Amino acid sequence: MGAYAKSKRANIVYTLELARRTQGSRIEALVIHPGAAMTGLQQHGTGALSRIVTSISARLIMGSASGAAWPSLYAATSPQVRSGQFIGPAGRDQTSGTPKLARLPKGADDQAEGERLWAASEQLTGATFTPGAVATS
């Protein structure tokens, strides 16, 4: 779960960097948080304690897999949504509920971190992104 959490944070940082790099174009880069939903991911915990915690969490705080799609649908269709925003569920601890503008994890909007991640991605993939090359019509 630690690696999963780090990958989710990297997605946020990377998307915010994309929003900065495409500012002024017709591209909108949004961060979408689906909340907590019972999917196959939870089946990979090990041990009896993990199974018990997952079972209890499923009943108390997790939403449905279909409910987890709501923030993506909202972001794709709402005229109020703008590039660089973070959309997630409005429920307790952003685990489920009606989509809304959510607060970013602390430090996720650090521009220097975004630039470092972007540079590392370009180096590792050998692909570069030139904002001026993005079609704006």
Q: What is the pLDDT of residues 55-102, one digit of tens each?
A: 555 555 667 777 788 899 999 999 999 999 999 988 777 777 789 998
Alpha-carbon distance of 11 to 15, in angstroms, equals 6
Task: Confirm if 34 and 87 have CB atoms less than 8 A apart.
Answer: no
CATH number of 2-133: 3.40.50.720
**Virtual torsion, Cα 40, 37, 94, 98, nearest 10 deg:** 140
Q: What is the pLDDT of residues 38-47, one digit of tens each?
A: 666 555 556 6
Q: What is the pLDDT of residues 14-38, one digit of tens each?
A: 999 999 999 988 889 999 988 877 6
Q: Residue ranges of the domains in the chain?
A: 2-133
